[in-house]
Amino acid sequence: MTKYIVVAAVEILVYAFFIFFLSVESAWILVATLVLIAGLVLARRFMPNRTQIVVDAFKSSRAFVLGLGAVLLLLFPIVASVVLRQGTYWMLVLIQTMIYLMVALGLNFQLGSTGMMNLATAAFYGVGAYAAGMLSLRLGLPAILTLPAAGVIAAAFGLILSVPIYKTKGHYLALVTLAFGYMIVLALDNTAFTGGAQGLMNIPEIRIFGYSFIRPLAGMHFYANYFYLATILLAATVAVFYRLQNSWVGLSLTTIRDDEIAAKCSGVNTAVWKLGAFATGNFFMGVAGALYAHMIGFISPPNFQFIESLVIVSIVILGGMDNLLGITLGAVILVLLPEKMRVITEYRVLIYGVLIVAMLIFRPRGLLPFKPREYHRSLLNRLRGGSK
């Protein structure tokens, strides 16, 4: 029982601090937050026994942790509308963070789980955005179809790179994807069919069963509709990747990542698995792009340039390869925090560069590194019990 109280107390405190953090105008709040986090890290390091209670509480009540987290997240549009002066703006920032997180999770499946570097994530995300835009503008398809179609089209675009994906290793694939990303943006820029440099305008908003997403939701800004949709899509993405990771799929992919020859000689058809992983990752990037296109209503080639891919890669490297929670943390730090300090945005690229280099030197495996797979808690306990 106490564990639920501990979890609830911690989550609500963090949530309250987060809202407070967003409401404070001064950039000093960033410094205060850093000090607070440093304090928590030190507390964990020097008082391992006392802090263990909290850690155990979180570990032993996973469903409750996630459930309460979901409730708090779902309450955000309401809280933001009521408490925050710039509630709408922060709602948009949070949606943006979730969209980036979806793309980063897609990349993580390719890079973190399988070891395939993809420097064209923004371009594939753009393919999804354009696909959704064109399908709804030209063919009048409803969003319920454009979202999955955008995913499939982004996956298909990834498969154009089939040969380099299963033939090349490491850095070569990085270069090939880098070039491919440039080509896509260049093509979008110069093709009249996709609106050229002007891009696509007036992309229809999402409508689901006649419900239009530009209608204010219970007095809140219409972004609240998109906030909830983004939350659902993100939850689905996390669920899919969590399940894939904790299954034979994850095992085959990490074996390919760590030693491709060993994987092959164990019977893994590496070409097929790598293509599958690449397509799967791209699918979610495409869906994220479609969501963005419908929400903003206007897309143009500069939205999908290499620099955005760099942000996505930074999220994965900072957060931790093949660690879903770590990547979530990475997205919050790299997408949400900079909005707090507008000064940062001008030096964004520089700061990301420095950050990646620093991470690679001091913590090459990310904030939350990869942990050996458990598949399922029940299995762990069964074997532990059995082996005694």
Partner 1 sequence: MSGKKTLFYSTDLEIHFGGLYALQKINIDILENEILGLIGPNGSGKTTFFNVITGIYKPTAGDITYKGESLLGKEPYQISRMGISRTYQSSRLCLELSLLDNVLIGMHNRQKQGYFSAIFSRRKMIAEVADFQDRVVELLDVFNPDLKERMFRPVGELPQIDRRRVEVCRAMAAEPTIILLDEPSAGMTPDETRELMEDIRKVRASMSDVSIMIIEHDMSVISSVSERVIAINFGEEIARGTYEEVAGTPAVREAYLGKEVVHE
Please tell me the distance from the alpha carbon of residue 309 to that of residue 43, in angstroms, as a whole number.
36
Q: Which residues sit opposite 207 in a β-bridge?
A: 212
Residue among 10 and 271 whose Cβ is closer to partner 1: 271
Asked whether position 360 contacts partner 1 by CB under 8 A, the answer is no
Q: What is d(CA 105, CA 127) in angstroms, rounded to the nearest whole number?
A: 17
Task: Kindly state whether residue 152 participates in binding partner 1, applying the rule CB under 8 A.
Answer: no
The residue among 305, 308, 292 whose CA lies nearest residue 352 is 308
Instruction: Name the nearest CA neighbour of 281 among 58, 71, 116, 63.
Output: 116
Q: How many CA atoms lie within 13 A of 156 on its CB side?
A: 9
For position 367 contacting partner 1 by CB under 8 A, the verdict is no
Q: Which stretch binds partner 1 (CB under 8 A): 23-31, 72-80, 165-173, 372-380?
A: 372-380
In degrees rounded to 5, what are phi and psi of residue 217?
-105, 110
For residues 138 and 243, which CB has a smaller minimum distance to partner 1 in the complex?
A: 243
In the complex with partner 1, the residue whose CB is nearer, 10 or 244, is 244
What is the residue-wise DSSP string for 27-77?
A: THHHHHHHHHHHHHHHHHHH-HHHHHHHHHHHHH-HHHHHHHHHHHHHHHH
Nearer to partner 1, 210 or 386 (CB): 386
Shortest distance in whole angstroms from residue 364 CB to partner 1: 12
Site pattern 217..256 for partner 1 (x: CB under 8 A): -----------------------x--xx--xxxxxx-xx-
Q: How many residues bind partner 1 (CB under 8 A)?
A: 37
Tokens of 155: 């996956």
SS3 (DSSP) at 211: strand
Cα gap 88→154, rounded to integer Å: 30
Nearest approach, Cβ of residue 62 and partner 1 (Å): 15
Q: How far is the CB of 105 from partner 1 (least distance, A)?
A: 14
The CB-of-267 to partner 1 minimum distance in angstroms stands at 4
Q: Which residues contact 374 (CB under 8 A, 6 or more apart)?
A: 246, 380
Residue 270 touching partner 1 (CB under 8 A):
yes
Which residue's CB is nearer to partner 1, number 74 or number 380?
Answer: 380
- Assess 267 for contact with partner 1 (CB under 8 A): yes
The smaller minimum CB distance to partner 1, of residues 131 and 253, is found at 253
Q: Report the candidate in 167, 161, 113, 174 with the shortest Cα–Cα distance to residue 309.
A: 174
Give the one residue of 20, 211, 259, 354 binding partner 1; rule: CB under 8 A.
259
Residue 37 or 380: the one with the smaller Cβ distance to partner 1 is: 380
x/- binding map, residues 276-295, to partner 1, per CB under 8 A? x-------------------
Q: How far apart are CA 22 and CA 93, in angstroms?
A: 11
Which listed range, 126-134, 182-190, 285-293, 379-387, lies at the site for partner 1 (CB under 8 A)? 379-387
Integer angstrom CA distances of residue 324 from 11, 68, 143, 279, 330: 19, 18, 27, 19, 10
Minimum CB separation from partner 1 for residue 152, in Å?
Answer: 15
The secondary structure of residue 116, as a DSSP letter, is: -
Nearest-angstrom CA–CA distance, 160 and 120? 13
Number of residues assigned to the chain: 388
Selected range binding partner 1 among 185-193, 293-301, 311-319, 373-381, rule: CB under 8 A: 373-381
**Strand pairing category for 211-212 and 207-208:** antiparallel
Interface contacts to partner 1, rule CB under 8 A: 240, 243-244, 247-252, 254-255, 257-259, 261-270, 276, 370, 372-373, 375-376, 378-380, 382-383, 386-387
